[in-house]
Amino acid sequence: MRSKLACFLAALLAQPSLSAQYRSALPGYHFKFPPDHFNHPDFQTEWWYYTGNLKSSGGHRFGFELTFFRQAVNRDPAKSAAWDVRDLYLAHLALSDLDGQRFYHTERTNRSGPGIAGVSRADGRIWNGNWQIQWADDNQKLQAVDDRFELRFTLHADKVPVIHGENGVSQKAAGPGHASHYVSLTRLATKGSIELDDRKFDVTGTTWMDHEFFTHQLEANQAGWDWLSIQLEDKTELMLFHIRRKDGSIDPYSAGTSVDVRGRTTHLRAGDFTLQPLGKTWTSPETHAVYPVSWAISIPKLNLDLEATTPLASQELAEKSKLTPSYWEGAIVLTGHRENQPSVGVGYLEMTGYDRPFEFAP
């Protein structure tokens, strides 16, 4: 469940005549790996999303985000020349210097062209210009180069892929196809380097990867959502999201997944957990959106209570264009208790629809 730019563009570009040409995410889908780590051109929208919390050998803390999107815009078989646009490839890149209290972000959009951007199962590669993921068995090489900073990491999957939802789909609203096929690598051991301000930091930590593909998801009465990925020090993970309706209520299709030490999963329905803002907010100087940046998390069936806070309040990816909403996406720290024992960890929080509600095409 992610608010990515691809989702916004899907809403803008999804004309019924085009959407009807693509598959819907329906129950009964059976994932196969490694093929399902790569592209699914039969679906209109797809993304690969990496977020991580890292620390240098000297203790300096960073968060990062690197996202790749594929948005189908044309299925005309006659459009087959290198420069014809069948898919848009979009990407977001962000670095949170948590101890330096600075946030950097940028984005790019490309057509595939003669190798400019794309996804290749044969090559084990996802890329947009000089931002890329290169797969090799259970390891991935991440590279992202910006004028201000560079990221170069090796990622190793400590757990098997996690399938979210039930019967192969993560349902987001009532009705067939209002869903996605959603898989995560919830604990990627990460090591590498960050170059920033003419300094090189050797870093280690953990990364979370989300991959979703779909053609339709949300409904017109849904205004936005709050999503968290959580990696606790006891080697368990959580994904939680709640969808906010325009009338202020929480949608019953909100959901989550708990992952135990061995990688076994438990599906969480909306009634199994609560996400409650704690009152601390940050107001964006660019969009004037007011974001709640501290949250209470309670999952009674897991005997788990956590508080999520952020070391850096200003982690908004503000869209200068009014065509697409802005969103807040940033590193968080978790403290709390599980069965009366201390529980701590790190994660990422995404908040959407706070500058203005989404407007989705039918």
Mean pLDDT value across residues 315-321 = 78
For residue 340, what pLDDT band results from cuts at 50, 70 and 90? Answer: confident
For residue 3, what pLDDT band results from cuts at 50, 70 and 90? Answer: very low
Q: What pLDDT score does 122 carry? A: 95
For residue 131, what pLDDT band results from cuts at 50, 70 and 90? Answer: very high
Q: What pLDDT score does 7 carry? A: 47
Residue 322 has pLDDT above 80, yes or no: no
Residue 15 has pLDDT above 70, yes or no: no
pLDDT above 90: percentage of residues in the chain:
75
Residue 227 has pLDDT above 90, yes or no: yes
Instruction: Write the DSSP assignment of 19-32 as a string of letters.
Output: HTTS----TT----
CA-angle at 258, arms to 254 and 261, nearest 5°: 170
pLDDT above 70: percentage of residues in the chain:
88
pTM: predicted TM-score of the whole model, two decimal places: 0.92
For residue 355, what pLDDT band results from cuts at 50, 70 and 90? Answer: confident
**Residue in 227, 210, 236 with CA at minimum distance from that of residue 302:** 236
Q: What pLDDT score does 1 carry? A: 52
Residue 8 has pLDDT above 50, yes or no: no
User: Which value, to the nearest 10 degrees, does the dihedral of the CA atoms of residues 193, 206, 53, 197 take?
Assistant: 0
- CB atoms under 10 Å from CB of 296, counted, come to 15
Domains and CATH numbers, the chain: 5-352 (2.40.370.10)
CB distance 6 to 352 below 8 Å: no
User: What are the tens digits of pLDDT across the range 147-163?
Assistant: 999 999 999 999 999 99
Q: What pLDDT score does 5 carry? A: 47
Residue 213 has pLDDT above 50, yes or no: yes
- CA-to-CA distance for 301 and 268, rounded, in angstroms? 9
Among 16-30, 170-184, 258-272, where is mean pLDDT lowest? 16-30
Mean pLDDT value across residues 132-141 = 94
Those residues whose C-beta lies under 8 Å from the C-beta of residue 244, and which sit 6 or more positions away, are 222, 223, 224, 225, 226, 250, 251, 353
On average, the pLDDT of the chain sits at 90
User: What are the tens digits of pLDDT across the range 53-93?
Assistant: 999 999 999 999 999 999 988 766 666 666 666 788 999 99
Q: How many CA atoms lie within 13 A of 113 on its CB side?
A: 10
